[in-house]
Structure 1
Amino acid sequence: MAPAADVDPVKKQVEFYFSDSNLPQDRFLLSKVKETPEGWVDIEMLTTFKKMVAIKATVEQVAAVAKASETLECSEDGKKIRRTTEIPEGDITLARSIVAKGMKMEVVLESDTSKSEVIDKLIGFFGSYGTVLSVRIDFRGNGKAPKKDEKKEEKKEEEKKEGESEKKEGDGEKDEEKKEEGPSKVIVDSAYVEFSSKEEAETVVTKEIEYEGKKLSLKMKPRPFVKKDDKKDAKSPSVGKKRGRDGDTADNKKGESSERPKRSRTDEEGNKGNTEGGEEKEEKAYVE
């Protein structure tokens, strides 16, 4: 079933952060959970994750979500949150996830919100084939869209070198406008889609599915979702890296992975990711 359009975005994101789909692989958030025997996490810290900032989540909203949730609970003072169930060991999403390739969507990455919109779109699409728990996309690893203006810029530089010396008043201003680079673009060709069960995922991969007129290649997920940079670092046994998100992910019932809180220095995307760990904090794709 496709996700309801009126789902509270704060509820969706918070429940995803602490879900079986995200928490066991979200190293940062998991480390925070394990800081105390009771598993309490500071809500104010949670609201600094990129995805939470994007939806303008407040401490009061998160506390209200936890109090009304079947899988979360809030401390008496309304400042902390935790799961109500045991955290599974390892990645339990692998057996019930598929890899869908062939979408070839050109995505303009203006913000984390843009990534969330793509993930929500795919959740809705695959939701017609089963119960989707999350969608994860590595927005950096799918490939960059062709830079249509790159050659033009090179020609301009050549012309300048060859002797274009005279310019009318006002040309300088126009040139500056042309030089301004717009939002980055990527080609999203594949995504990891997590269903509610292994049986459901196995049924979906047997279907012939087209996305916007393009036939998709569907296979069971062969390996953990890892970003390119993580793969390089994984070669060194002394360096541990976070699992890629983003894209996200990726959402719980449709959220995105947690992200590092904003600091004076640039945070890695994903979650302290949005991912969402992602949102890494990825961007994990929230339901990536």
Structure 2
Amino acid sequence: MATPSLGEDTAKAVLRQVEFYFGDSNLPKDDFLKTKINESEDDMVCLALICSFSKMRGHLNLTEVKKADDVPDCTLKVVAQTLRTSSSLKVSEDGKKVGRSTKLLEPEELIEQLDSRTIAASPLELNVQREALEAFFGQYAKVNSVRLPRHVVQRKYFCGTALIEFSAVEDAQTVLEQSLVFAGAELELKPKKDFDVIREKEVEEFERNRSITTSNGSNAEEKHPKGLLVAFKLKSASAGDSAEQNGPDEKKTAEMKMTKKVDDKHGSPIDKVVEKENKSSISIYKDDMNVVLREDLKDVFKKFGTVKVLLKLVSLTI
């Protein structure tokens, strides 16, 4: 009787997930998994335990499984069969254990290698999905992992720059030389080391501004570091008032009321904006006083600094 196998999509998801668990980017930070490896004599871990992890249960449709002992033997067999195709994993002869095929490098060397094969990509929307980025960059090279760092100030939300780790340094260099467009936005690609330098400066600026605010009392003017995400509402005004306040070139933008209120689910400003994606649409709505285009908003806000990304959703009250 032939050994059953996983479907193609499921097999890919399972292989990718287990390679991630034992990969260079996750294992050094995974204290639980490292402890299990150190406790074993052969540096391998019970495959049933791996299959009981939440994401693996999702891939394998094991919704009723609560612990490793509940994983069916038939599932372990097909998972072991799939994992044996990996060059970075090893599976025991009986198919009950799995581990890395190579030893983990020393921390300093590991960090250097990780940084060398990782790039930073921006601007991205706050609700971007890891899976979408993995599929997009996977067209150009094998992706080991995608990380979505939090914003320096608003730790609850994604900062707009993703870190994509490839399987080889050469792959990362090749992608850096590409001109890529994701979700309608031209991506700015840079080495992770460049991102780290910018990130460090943002953290220092935030800490400095926070200490100034604290020392001056709670009513001191709040300082907002570079990269802060804000939402705003547009309110209609009479043509005369708009022209008087903003001038003829900006009267379509109406009166702007700044607010930092953000949608709890996606971190996006509330309600909808009329979004136009091509030049023909822009020309159609250019003179419509009831339509606010992205170009109008960028023209207004660029006087305060570089607008890195304009989100699709803003509050519009007419």
Higher relative contact order structure (alpha carbons within 8 Å, sequence separation ≥ 6): 1
TM-score by length of 2: 0.45
Higher percent of residues as helix: 2
TM-score by length of 1: 0.49
